[in-house]
Amino acid sequence: APNRTKLLLDDLAGMDVVVTSYFEVQRDKKRLLQKVSWKRICLDEMQEVRSWNTVVAKQCEKLQGARRWMISGTPLYTGIGDLRGELSFLRVSPFSATHEDGFWSFCIANPWRSRDPACLTRLRRLLDAIMMRHSKGQTYKDSGESILKLPDLDEEEVGVALGPSEQAVYNYVEALSVASMRRIEAAAAAAAAAG
């Protein structure tokens, strides 16, 4: 019903924070999330929109917002091409999909494939302009105090008892791995002997 949609839109627009999933953005048939003008849109696990031509990437790109942020520990999930979807969401012109004219291929993809050193310089400049990277060791310049206080890493190794079928799979994969490593070692030894 139109009144219900308007109420939902008013509710959404009145919220300070709305948390949703990529699945919900993708299945939003009424495009309610796209009808709100958001102050800020933050995509967590941004590698989910790495392919600029997927439904979820296109839906996220259509969201309206004054500011667009992406958060991830793995901004490049499968390769340099992942940046294309991410740049599209961020609307980094001329890299965004809405400005697709072969620029990505000409400026990034083809030079990257041919290992052109200028491409790496170009990418560094681009990423320096749009990316912020934080590390555990970062400190505030004025106080020297740590920006992020995390507890010390506590690693504990816990053995797992495998059932008969799990043990059989483990043994099979182990045997394949050992055989594969022996082939690699033999090939390396043969190559070294051939000089």
pLDDT reported for residue 99 = 53
70 close to 90: Cβ distance less than 8 angstroms: yes
Is the confidence at residue 118, as pLDDT, over 90? yes
Mean pLDDT across 108-113 = 92
Place of tokens 């001329």: 94
**Residue 6 domain boundaries:** 2-102
Mean pLDDT across 172-194 = 94
Is the confidence at residue 84, as pLDDT, over 80? yes
**CA 144 – CA 44 distance, rounded (Å):** 29
Instruction: Give the chain's domain count.
Output: 1
Structural domain contains residue 184: no
- The domain that holds 44 is classified in CATH as 3.40.50.10810
pLDDT reported for residue 56 = 87
Is the confidence at residue 6, as pLDDT, over 90? no
